[in-house]
Amino acid sequence: MRTGNEPMTARSPLRLRFGLASFGLVWTAAGTAFFALAGRPGWAIACGVVMLVTVIDLVVIIRHIRQGPHYQPGRDVPPYEAVRNTNHPGEGKRQP
């Protein structure tokens, strides 16, 4: 039985994900260019595919950041209380 509410109210570190994805974008773009100039088309395509995935991830991250505090609460927004299912036989009663 779960005693805490952390998994239900966890916040996503979107700014950290943005930084890591930006770092990955720079390196995959450099790898794509390097392998293309070195005459290794297979490796260039592989880096290009990873770069495409990174760009899609960046778009999703930016969209969630712009959606506001529902997706990226600030320090002044308390965690949301978990919704408890009182109809489930294994769950306890809702605490006031």
Residue with tokens 């760009």: 55
pLDDT in tens, 29-84: 999 999 999 999 999 999 999 999 999 999 999 998 887 656 555 666 666 665 66
Q: What is the reported pLDDT for 8?
A: 57
Residue with tokens 């039985």: 1
**Sequence-separated contacts (24+) of 55-64 with Cβ below 8 Å:** 55/25, 57/17, 57/21, 58/18, 58/21, 58/22, 58/25, 61/14, 61/17, 61/18, 61/21, 62/18, 64/12, 64/14
H helical segments located in the chain: 6-9, 14-37, 41-66
